[in-house]
Amino acid sequence: MRNLVLLYILTLSFTLFAKVNPHEVEAFITKTAEQHQLDADEIRRILNHAEHQQSIIDAMNKPAEKVLEWYQYRPIFITDKRIQEGVEFWQNNADVLHKVSNQSQVPVPIIVAIIGVETFYGRIKGNHKVLDALYTLAFDYPKRSVFFSKELGHFFKLAADGHVDALTAKGSYAGAMGYGQFMPSSYRSYAVDYESDGVIDLLDNPHDAIASVANYLARHGWQKDQPVVAKASKPKSKTKLNQLKPHLKDKKGREYTLIGLKTDEDNMAYWQGFHNFYVISRYNHSHMYVMAVYQLAERIQSEYNAANASTQNEAQQ
């Protein structure tokens, strides 16, 4: 019996280890070293610290956007606490937010709301080691292994350039990092060194994060003073709902997509999503995510204005 138990343990250990093919890892090392001009031995040394995490695979298979309806999803993000802390984040970083907004043309409330939805203004950035997350998904998540292999390569380049610590950086189960939850490729493409100190720190520097979120949206085509959504009536025909890219036209000639979301088990509400709706969706390809960002931004704007008006009234008394 003891021998059978030992055999079972050994078999289980081998099965867990075998989830990552060492030949694929070695091929990745060679390719990444050549592509990003990195030291292959250094990549290998760091990868020796990576651990496969089954919980990451499980999380990837059950994202909230795919298992929740809008009336279940919305209360996660549109809360009094998240609104109030959004106002406080705005107040604490007002100079940077307004300067960045003026340069990028992206409204302050949208920048704040994205950071609020992503990480509760930097409080919840993720507890997974980014190295473990990307290693697991690159070598044990076949349907997106190509994507995550590339992200792992970008992560090594970020580390080599001194922007992150490959062994200690933490983020989401998908490998997104910092206040705005940037994937490594987005980090390298859109992140901004606000202080011009030579290091782009999205994990601990809110100013770099603010500038980077705004730059991401600006580079994806944000249109100044244009709407994100507008309320709509129930469609008379069988219009396909919740496509992200605008493909219909309203009476003003504006392109939009029709969004339909369940407000409870029996009822639906509808919105027109315009070009800026699509721009926000480039950050997260979910119509519910965009609506959460938009509605949180609206509430933060309202509360921020009220707080400012109250302060001005007190000063005049």
Known catalytic residues? 118
Strands 268-273 and 229-232: antiparallel
CA end-to-end distance (rounded Å), the chain = 85
Query: How many Å apart are CA 271 and CA 234, to the nearest integer?
Result: 9
DSSP code per residue over the chain: -HHHHHHHHHHHHHHHHTTS-HHHHHHHHHHHHHHHT--HHHHHHHHTT----HHHHHHHTS-HHHH--HHHHHHHHS-HHHHHHHHHHHHHTHHHHHHHHHHH---HHHHHHHHHHHHTTTT---SEEHHHHHHHHHHH-GGGHHHHHHHHHHHHHHHHTTSS-TTT-EE-TTS-BTTTTB-HHHHHHH---TT-SS---TTT-HHHHHHHHHHHHHHTT--TT--SEEEEPPPSS-PPP--SS--EE-TTS-EEEEEEEESSSS-EEEEEE-HHHHHHHTTSS-HHHHHHHHHHHHHHHHHHHHHHHHHHHHHH-
**Rounded Cα gap, residues 265 and 75, in angstroms:** 15
Phi, psi (deg, nearest 5) at residue 124: -125, 85
Sign of torsion over alpha carbons 128, 201, 122, 145: negative
